[in-house]
A and B are shown apart, each in its own frame.
Chain A
Amino acid sequence: MSQNEITMSRRGVIAGGAVGVAASALPAEAQTPPLDQRAAPPTMPVTLKVNGSTHRLDLDTRTTLLDALREHWKLTGTKKGCDHGQCGACTVLVDGRRINSCLSLAVMHDGDSITTIEGLGKPDDLHPMQAAFIKHDGYQCGYCTPGQICSAVAVLDEIKRGVPSHVQADIATAPAVTEMEIRERMSGNICRCGAYSNIIEAMRDVAGAKA
């Protein structure tokens, strides 16, 4: 989808919606100003490179990166579990590092490169981590799964890069891909279905295959 298509369709929707309401709901409420006479929310242009393709959008500055992806880019693979940075379902990779996209405004990421679950692999062209989650049944309802997988990919990379963690006995030495190390680093991603034991096996499988 090109940038113009996205911009046009969104504006078209808003304009169409406003007309529909002015005609139907408002006459009974004379004190309420018509929709098109109210202050428009402040917007800013944001350019994101999402899963390899670059798009520019004018976004309400209050829009989180998560809602920009889900509602504007229509990439709904990234999930909204809590909207408060408590569950990890919204984890995406920003320039290769994982963040909770609900805790970050889209305008803070102008020019950034974002990888979402859709960018890691596709149903018929799975990323090794996605394939390992299927093999080890590292999910059930599937709602935390994109966040778990994005985190899992980033965690193995963090261990490889020597990023220290809370459970390392000696943070001056390189961390190893141990179960403890993985569990600690994955603990920001809640799975209420309780697939943790299987997720660890999926990650160890991928880490072993890489080694």
Chain B
Amino acid sequence: MKFDTPAGQNPIDQLKVVGKPTDRIDGKFKTTGTAPYAYERHDVAPDAAYGYVVGAGIAKGRIAGMDLAAAKAAPGVLTIVTADTAGTLGKGDMNTAKLLGGPAVDHYHQAIALVVAETFEQARAAAALIRVDYARGQGRFDLDEALKTAPLKGDSSGEGSSAPPVDRVGKFEQAFAAAPVQLDAVYETPDQSHAMMEPHASIARWQGDELTLWTSNQMINWGKGDVAKTLGIPKEKVRLISPYIGGGFGGKLFVRADAVLAALGARQAGRPVKVTLQRPLMINNTTHRPATRQRIRLGAGKDGKLVAIAHESGSGDLPGGGPETAVSQTKLLYAGANRLTSMRLAVLDLPEGNAMRAPGEAPGLMALEVAMDEMAEKLGMDPVQFRIINDTQVDPEKPNRKFSQRQLVECLRLGADKFGWAQRSATPRAKRDGAWLVGMGVASGFRNNITMKSGARVGIDRKGQVTVATDMTDIGTGSYTIIAQTAAEMMGVPLDKVTVLLGDSSFPTAAGSGGQWGANSSTAGVYAACMKLREAVAQKLGFNSNDVSFADGKVRSGNRSVPLAQAAGTSGLSAEDSIEFGDLAKKEQQSTFAGHFVEVGVHAYTGEIRIRRMLAVCAAGRILNPKSARSQVIGAMTMGVGAALMEELAVDKRFGFFVNHDLASYEVPVHADIPHQEVIFLDEVDPMSSPMKAKGVGELGLCGVGAAIANAVYNASGVRVREYPVTLDKVIAGSAMIA
């Protein structure tokens, strides 16, 4: 089905099942430990041997020699995979660094060997017996140093965030120089790690020249292609199966070393092999969100209207990598006639930088929305009001291109009202609760809506059970449930009459989980397949397909009514289709919006920061399931707390690696850090997005949260921290300067 005209009335609009806060249909499996994740498939590979990954001990250089003798002779060891045994490997389209290093080493903890043994304990013990002689090379590990000579570089995150090397509208420099009120500030965001709970894991099994990988991967079709390319085998010979994924956040968008090494290990051992990346290896072995250095200049009239906006960002990555597109949202978020964005990319020999939840916008808004807070203060304006008067209903760079829906002002107004924003003092350090200084902060949330081609197959059996099969994934986002809701709505059956099968590359190719496109695109693909199936049913019954309804398990046309099961017949009926998106997204800008509100307490004597309240008001098209969508948003808000207050990969600039590479030292929010969180979804349907009229929320929930927290800390303590994370040492240092 081609989607190239705005959606009209369609069966989804009945909202009998779609739009309801339904419990997840996979919940009873996840809560009882019966949902099988990648490493847990004793059922399919009972004889799997265990692989243990050895990571490089240098960041840059060569392996001069590897002594494997002791490891090979160790109890239980079946084989050892190294670059020597692997043969020539290709590099996938999606990853920057090779997944198996040697003799050249491209980054610290790049995989250089896999020890395969009968048991996990044997593989681990033998891995420790491998002696590697390195010839350490010179690496570039200092972002600030490297940015001094870094070239301009444009790029797209591939997830709706993109910018050219330099983008100019009007005459920024002149307008800024002439502006009565100016802000010029530099912000820093650190490298961050996805730190999903399930480590990357795969079981590989060869049958002849055909490879099956049970793996933990967000994008099945990309993964299938990259596994084939890396191993140098035809794509048709690879099957990926990934029904349950223990979190990804972008860290599992691409094939990683676990999958490739399991495949190589299984080929060498002549039997299935399972590999999980050891937690202390994950942070340096896989990808991370790159650190940024961002300069923002804002110029406004005394009336608060922006006349000049510049956002320039620098980040680093391995040779051949890309920039963090932190300036992208600044092209679209606020009005202003004179605009400049630019990006620089430094070459670093740190581990690979790549997409992490809301790449671009997450760190970009952490800077821009603090700058907006600072500017509001300079203007003597309320920060909510300042944002409202600078709203735009059209693309500021192309004023004849409007937003399909844009309710940012409504998000901010409703949020301010519900949160009690009127109680906030404009003067910092004005509110106290015992030893705690209390403050409120606000930020706009913004993230584009992306549509991706997505397919599905839908069948009805003779009992009237509807089954959906698609290679879409559920990474905790609720795909199982919203796909079931979509099929139930379309075929007129209750939710328990729908079975959903996901994450298998033998199913039709779906959008996959990334860039907050998954929910809208994958359900639209199911919609397309259901429309085709409805037509097949009508045709079989001799009904006029323009005058047919599917409800209560029956197909009706005029006076005639036939149970769906009967219509399907003994052999059943099925249909396959995909949704393909035309150029509607070019005609009107599709974006999602939020107002984030946070109240913090800052301890007057220790600088300790505690989140007291959080609210997000979101406008993101039709909300397919308010329960799972709300969970996406509170989860993103929680990740925003981490970004604002604690998450930072510490770079060892001498040896070139992230020092805090486990869950004890890379701190993420825990229960004690997170208060009760509120989410409000505005009523919105967006006929430009898809027949579902939905958009994404999974990344929107993160965009702006960090800045709202930093702004609240300022309002509470009077200390403006521009280098994330906002930690108590920085608050104390700033407080000393105030006193």
What is the 8 Å Cβ interface bit string for chain B, positions 64-91, against chain A (1 contact, 0 not)?
A: 0000010011111111000000000000
A4 cross-chain contacts in B, Cβ below 8 A: none
What is the 8 Å Cβ interface bit string for chain A, positions 26-53, against chain B (1 contact, 0 not)?
A: 0001011101001111000000000000
Which of A83, A116, A193 contacts B279 (CB under 8 A)?
A83
- Whether a CB of chain A sits under 8 angstroms from the CB of B560 is no
- Total inter-chain residue pairs, C-beta < 8 Å: 240
Report how far A123 CA is from B28 CA in the complex, Å: 5
B674 touches A197 (CB 8 A): yes
- Whether a CB of chain B sits under 8 angstroms from the CB of A60 is yes
Report how far A83 CA is from B282 CA in the complex, Å: 13
What is the 8 Å Cβ interface bit string for chain A, positions 155-196, against chain B (1 contact, 0 not)?
A: 000000000000000000000000100111011111111111
A74 touches B42 (CB 8 A): yes
B122 touches A41 (CB 8 A): yes
Which of B23, B76, B125, B672 contacts A135 (CB under 8 A)?
B23
B49 cross-chain contacts in A, Cβ below 8 A: 17
CB distance from A209 to the nearest CB of B (A): 17
Report how far A135 CA is from B121 CA in the complex, Å: 39
A67 touches B120 (CB 8 A): yes
- Whether a CB of chain B sits under 8 angstroms from the CB of A96 is no
**With A86-B279, A134-B23, A140-B635: A17-B78 Cβ-Cβ less than 8 Å:** yes
**With A16-B47, A60-B121, A192-B668: A77-B34 Cβ-Cβ less than 8 Å:** yes
CB distance from B175 to the nearest CB of A (A): 41
Which of B29, B268, B632, B671 contacts A140 (CB under 8 A)?
B632
A78 cross-chain contacts in B, Cβ below 8 A: 33
A32 touches B72 (CB 8 A): yes
B631 touches A187 (CB 8 A): no
CB distance from B478 to the nearest CB of A (A): 8
**With A192-B249, A198-B631: A182-B31 Cβ-Cβ less than 8 Å:** no
- Whether a CB of chain B sits under 8 angstroms from the CB of A121 is yes
B672 cross-chain contacts in A, Cβ below 8 A: 183-184, 187
B671 touches A186 (CB 8 A): yes
CB distance from A5 to the nearest CB of B (A): 12
- Whether a CB of chain B sits under 8 angstroms from the CB of A211 is no
- Whether a CB of chain A sits under 8 angstroms from the CB of B368 is no
> Which stretch (B1-9, B195-203, B206-214, B650-658) binds chain A?
B195-203
Which of A31, A38, A146 contacts B69 (CB under 8 A)?
A31
- Whether a CB of chain A sits under 8 angstroms from the CB of B423 is no
- Whether a CB of chain A sits under 8 angstroms from the CB of B278 is yes
B636 touches A194 (CB 8 A): yes
Closest A residue to B193 by CB, please name it: A192
A35 touches B635 (CB 8 A): no
Closest B residue to A125 by CB, please name it: B32
Report how far A191 CA is from B663 CA in the complex, Å: 12
A121 cross-chain contacts in B, Cβ below 8 A: 31-32
Report how far A191 CA is from B24 CA in the complex, Å: 18
CB distance from B676 to the nearest CB of A (A): 5
A197 touches B675 (CB 8 A): yes
B662 cross-chain contacts in A, Cβ below 8 A: 82, 84, 86
**With A17-B118, A143-B197: A87-B271 Cβ-Cβ less than 8 Å:** no
A194 touches B635 (CB 8 A): yes
A194 cross-chain contacts in B, Cβ below 8 A: 634-639, 669, 674
Interface residues of A in 77-118 (CB under 8 A from B): 77-84, 86-87, 89, 116-118
- Whether a CB of chain A sits under 8 angstroms from the CB of B731 is no
- Whether a CB of chain B sits under 8 angstroms from the CB of A70 is yes
- Whether a CB of chain A sits under 8 angstroms from the CB of B664 is yes
Closest A residue to B637 by CB, please name it: A194
What is the 8 Å Cβ interface bit string for chain B, positions 353-369, against chain A (1 contact, 0 not)?
A: 00000000000000000
- Whether a CB of chain B sits under 8 angstroms from the CB of A149 is yes
Closest B residue to A33 by CB, please name it: B73
B75 cross-chain contacts in A, Cβ below 8 A: 38-41
Interface residues of B in 74-118 (CB under 8 A from A): 74-79, 118
Which of B119, B639, B668 contacts A60 (CB under 8 A)?
B119
Interface residues of B in 13-53 (CB under 8 A from A): 23-24, 26-37, 39-40, 42, 46-47, 49
B671 touches A193 (CB 8 A): no
Which of A9, A13, A137 contacts B23 (CB under 8 A)?
A137
15 A–B contact pairs at CB < 8 A?
A: A9-B46, A21-B269, A25-B269, A76-B37, A76-B39, A83-B279, A130-B28, A134-B31, A141-B198, A143-B246, A179-B676, A187-B672, A194-B638, A196-B671, A197-B677
